[in-house]
């Protein structure tokens, strides 16, 4: 089968396995001689969206001949034939009268159905028969252009144009993609964890990724799984592959945030770190071999493959503008680095919905002070170590506030359990002790003491702030000092939203609110500056949702942390769900992974309860969502229904969220009618 036939089949939803058994209505015959023909057409180019009749036909042939790939069909128009350098005449040239009639009919059909049409036709002895017309399948790029063009031509409204583009498909426009015409030598397959494609040399450690990546080499980081220490290596790599972990594993979440393509949970891959190679499907790929990953399909390919670079055309901007005009939900981004914040703004984010301060603690310049704090014997020791972190943390916020130019920035105080900041293996412990001069025995003992059976449900989130208020005091101080500094420079006043994670009780929120206000007041008095800030909480535990009224007494905003809320509501650890979710999906118990698309019945009901109870206690409580679901169109639809104020997602998903929010708003308005 030739490529053109394959393309038709794809556009017509015809599986390749179907062979020639395509059932075209065959009461008329296109194989009755040279004045007979059969063909398929799109009223516009389904690949680019260009407004030009597009299609192919065969003289003296039946419908299946066009798609079977045995004879090569000819283009419909003269212009197309000339562009392609074809010799055989186009339909326009071979059957000019029929063609003129055909062109009129298809134009009428497009106007009637108000969308690009996919048409099958037969000419029997000079007479045109229309066999079928339907809305044509199209690429993301074409969908965008067709929608904008149809609206510009007055055939549909701008709102209809907004409804015509599948938000998730924008991913194809925002990342490089593999040329669909290129052959794919698949060596392993995993989950499509972060979209886009990348080619590079295989490396097996974050350190090497950082070294080679820093030297300008394109590398793909291949790991069993990733952890926070790998972040700089992940950032330096063009793409990431992991053998374990799901759609919401560390690798997947971080890669999406960074806009790096990622294939996660490629269980076929067995990494042999010692030999410096990995094995999959009986093949061996060595370090520095070139591979390509397709994060949109989850495939890992051998060698380099031809790429198509993204092109954010004028149509994209036009459609997003229309979307912004109708949506009610604000769209923010989850970002903590200057790079992410910049990307987020470029993609139209209206603020930061989640700045995870712990990401700032892994920086090599700081981790030593963080560890010193963890090892401190008492509060005084912890405060001394925190004093070293304060200026760096403040600088982080200064930078973010400047980039965000007065847009709201929600900053989540330290969340992960402290043991995440300590090295995990005895070797690493020894190395860290050696490098930092910390007592290795003490380091080992403390790591052992901090070990938890279920770290997800352990000493983390605001439980750190309750046990060691000095940590949160340092962070609040850094935030408020940074805000004062930015205002002092005459820049737009930041709106810091100080967010406490993992709150479960009203009393807890009260304690945290008092701590925050007390610290902020001190700084404001010290600096003599005018700063507005808000204090709020994550709602990521079922109890927080149930007792939202208690929390709202001291929280000006809620951000639904749907990752953790899904974990606790289902009692499913994301990190461990790989073992059984497969059985569940196979047996039809789960339709989709609840960590990807919000479980609206269960987790969603808790969100609904929290929104109701929170608003009953504080009518103007601001409500947002900052879990992975904040970038999922179906989940955004739900956020609109529940009446949240904003969604927050990875920078690269901001356009998707903007479009999905617009569609949700239009959908809700339709319902009201």
Q: Which residues does the annotation mark as catalytic?
A: 250, 626
Compute the least distance from the CB of residue 580 to a second copy, in Å. 5
| CA 265/CA 245 separation, integer angstroms | 5
Q: Does 113 bind a second copy (CB under 8 A)?
A: no
Q: Does 564 bind a second copy (CB under 8 A)?
A: yes
Structure tokens at 587: 């047996």
Handedness of CA 430, 436, 442, 443 (dihedral sign): negative
| CA 38/CA 120 separation, integer angstroms | 8
Structure tokens at 638: 């739900």
Closer Cβ to a second copy, 397 or 468, answer by number: 468
CA dihedral 50, 53, 54, 55 (to 10 degrees): 170
Q: Does 454 bind a second copy (CB under 8 A)?
A: yes
Q: Which of 546, 596, 634, 642 binds a second copy (CB under 8 A)?
A: 546
Within residues 505-524, the interface with a second copy by CB under 8 A covers 505, 507-508, 511
| CA 158/CA 150 separation, integer angstroms | 9
Q: Which of 547, 629, 653, 658 binds a second copy (CB under 8 A)?
A: 547
Compute the least distance from the CB of residue 173 to a second copy, in Å. 36
Segment interacting with a second copy, rule: CB under 8 A, options 128-136, 298-306, 478-486, 501-509: 501-509
**Rounded to whole angstroms, what are the CA distances from 57 to 1, 68, 88, 182, 594?**
17, 12, 11, 25, 46
Burial of 641 (0-12, 13-18, 19+ CB in 10 A): middle
Compute the least distance from the CB of residue 419 to a second copy, in Å. 11
Q: Which residue has the tokens 């900052």?
A: 626
| CA 521/CA 469 separation, integer angstroms | 16
Q: Which residue has the tokens 């704090």?
A: 373
Could you tell me which residues are beta bridge partners of residue 127? 124
Q: Which of 264, 343, 559, 567 binds a second copy (CB under 8 A)?
A: 567
Question: Which x/- pattern over 191-210 shows residues binding a second copy (rule: CB under 8 A)?
Answer: --------------------
- For residue 283, the surrounding DSSP H or E stretch is strand 283-286
| CA 366/CA 232 separation, integer angstroms | 14
DSSP state letter for 244: S
Q: Does 603 bind a second copy (CB under 8 A)?
A: yes
Compute the least distance from the CB of residue 555 to a second copy, in Å. 15
Closer Cβ to a second copy, 387 or 467, answer by number: 467
Segment interacting with a second copy, rule: CB under 8 A, options 117-125, 131-139, 477-485, 498-506: 498-506
DSSP state letter for 69: S
Closer Cβ to a second copy, 551 or 644, answer by number: 551
| CA 132/CA 40 separation, integer angstroms | 9
Q: Which of 430, 457, 487, 493 binds a second copy (CB under 8 A)?
A: 457
Closer Cβ to a second copy, 249 or 334, answer by number: 249
Compute the least distance from the CB of residue 427 to a second copy, in Å. 17
Q: Does 568 bind a second copy (CB under 8 A)?
A: yes
Binding-site size, a second copy (CB under 8 A): 48
Structure tokens at 511: 């304690």
Q: Does 452 bind a second copy (CB under 8 A)?
A: yes
Burial of 94 (0-12, 13-18, 19+ CB in 10 A): middle
Closer Cβ to a second copy, 344 or 502, answer by number: 502
Closer Cβ to a second copy, 305 or 606, answer by number: 606
Handedness of CA 440, 442, 443, 444 (dihedral sign): positive
Question: Which x/- pattern over 570-599 shows residues binding a second copy (rule: CB under 8 A)?
Answer: xxxx-xx--xx--xx--xxxx--------x
Residue 221 sits at the vertex; the CA angle it makes with 262 and 242, to the nearest 5 degrees, is: 55
Q: Does 540 bind a second copy (CB under 8 A)?
A: yes
Q: Does 459 bind a second copy (CB under 8 A)?
A: yes
Q: Which of 89, 455, 643, 667 binds a second copy (CB under 8 A)?
A: 455
Q: Which residues bind a second copy (CB under 8 A)?
A: 452-459, 463, 466-467, 502, 504-505, 507-508, 511, 540-543, 546-547, 550, 564, 567-573, 575-576, 579-580, 583-584, 587-590, 599, 601-603, 605-606
């Amino acid at each position: 089968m030739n490529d053109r036939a394959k393309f038709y089949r794809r556009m017509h939803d015809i599986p390749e396995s179907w062979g020639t058994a395509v059932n075209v209505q065959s009461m008329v015959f296109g194989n009755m001689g040279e004045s007979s023909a059969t063909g398929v057409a799109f009223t516009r180019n389904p690949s680019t969206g260009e407004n030009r009749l597009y299609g192919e036909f065969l003289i003296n042939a039946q419908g299946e001949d066009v798609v079977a790939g045995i004879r090569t069909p000819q283009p419909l128009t003269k212009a197309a034939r000339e562009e392609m350098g074809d010799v055989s005449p186009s339909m326009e040239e071979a059957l000019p009268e029929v063609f003129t009639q055909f062109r009129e009919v298809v134009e009428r059909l497009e106007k009637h159905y108000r969308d690009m049409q996919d048409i099958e036709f037969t000419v029997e002895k000079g007479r045109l028969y229309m066999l079928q017309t339907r809305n044509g399948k199209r690429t993301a790029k074409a969908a965008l252009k067709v929608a904008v063009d149809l609206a510009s031509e007055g055939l549909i409204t701008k709102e209809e144009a907004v409804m015509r583009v599948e938000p998730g498909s924008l991913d194809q426009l925002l990342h490089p993609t593999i040329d669909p015409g290129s052959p794919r030598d698949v060596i392993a397959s995993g989950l499509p964890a972060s979209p886009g494609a990348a080619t590079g040399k295989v490396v097996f450690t974050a350190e090497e990724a950082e070294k080679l990546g820093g030297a300008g080499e394109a590398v793909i980081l291949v790991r069993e799984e990733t952890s926070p220490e790998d972040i700089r290596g992940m950032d330096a790599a063009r793409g990431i592959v992991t053998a374990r972990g799901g759609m919401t594993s560390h690798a997947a979440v971080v890669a999406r945030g960074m806009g790096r393509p990622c294939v996660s949970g490629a269980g076929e891959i067995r990494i042999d770190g010692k030999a410096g190679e990995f094995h999959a499907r009986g093949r061996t790929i060595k370090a520095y071999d070139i591979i390509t990953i397709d994060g949109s399909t989850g495939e890992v390919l051998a060698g380099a493959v031809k790429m198509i670079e993204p092109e954010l055309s004028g149509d994209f901007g036009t459609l997003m503008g229309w979307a912004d005009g109708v949506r009610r939900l604000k769209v923010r981004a989850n970002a903590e680095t200057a790079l992410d914040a910049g990307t987020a703004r470029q993609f139209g984010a209206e603020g930061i919905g989640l700045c995870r301060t712990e990401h700032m603690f892994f920086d090599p310049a700081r981790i030593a002070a963080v560890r010193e704090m963890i090892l401190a014997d008492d509060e005084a020791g912890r405060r001394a170590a925190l004093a070293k972190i304060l200026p760096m943390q403040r600088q982080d916020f200064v930078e973010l506030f400047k980039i965000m130019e007065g847009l709201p920035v929600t900053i989540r105080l330290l969340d992960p359990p402290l043991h995440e900041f300590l090295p995990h293996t005895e070797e690493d412990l020894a190395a860290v002790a050696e490098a930092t001069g910390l007592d290795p025995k003490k380091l080992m003992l403390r790591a052992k003491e901090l070990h938890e059976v279920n770290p997800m449900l352990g000493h983390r989130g605001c439980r750190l702030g309750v046990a060691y208020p000095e940590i949160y005091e340092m962070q609040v101080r850094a935030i408020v000092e940074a805000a004062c500094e930015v205002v002092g420079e005459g820049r737009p006043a930041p709106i810091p939203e100080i967010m406490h994670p993992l709150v479960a009780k009203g009393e807890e929120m009260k304690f945290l609110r008092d701590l925050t206000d007390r610290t902020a007041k001190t700084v404001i008095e010290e600096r003599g500056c005018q700063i507005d800030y808000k204090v709020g909480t994550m709602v990521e535990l079922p109890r927080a949702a149930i007792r939202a009224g208690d929390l709202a007494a001291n929280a000006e905003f809620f951000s639904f942390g749907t990752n953790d809320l899904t974990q606790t509501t289902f009692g499913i650890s994301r990190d461990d769900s790989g073992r059984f979710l497969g059985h569940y999906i196979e047996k039809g118990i789960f339709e989709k992974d609840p960590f990807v698309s919000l479980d609206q019945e269960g987790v969603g009901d808790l969100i609904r309860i929290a929104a109701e109870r929170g608003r009953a206690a504080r009518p103007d409580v601001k409500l947002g969502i900052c879990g992975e679901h904040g970038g999922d169109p179906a989940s955004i639809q739900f956020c609109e229904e529940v009446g949240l104020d904003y969604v927050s997602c990875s920078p690269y998903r901001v356009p998707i969220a903007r479009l999905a929010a617009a569609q949700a708003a239009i959908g809700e308005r339709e319902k009201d009618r």
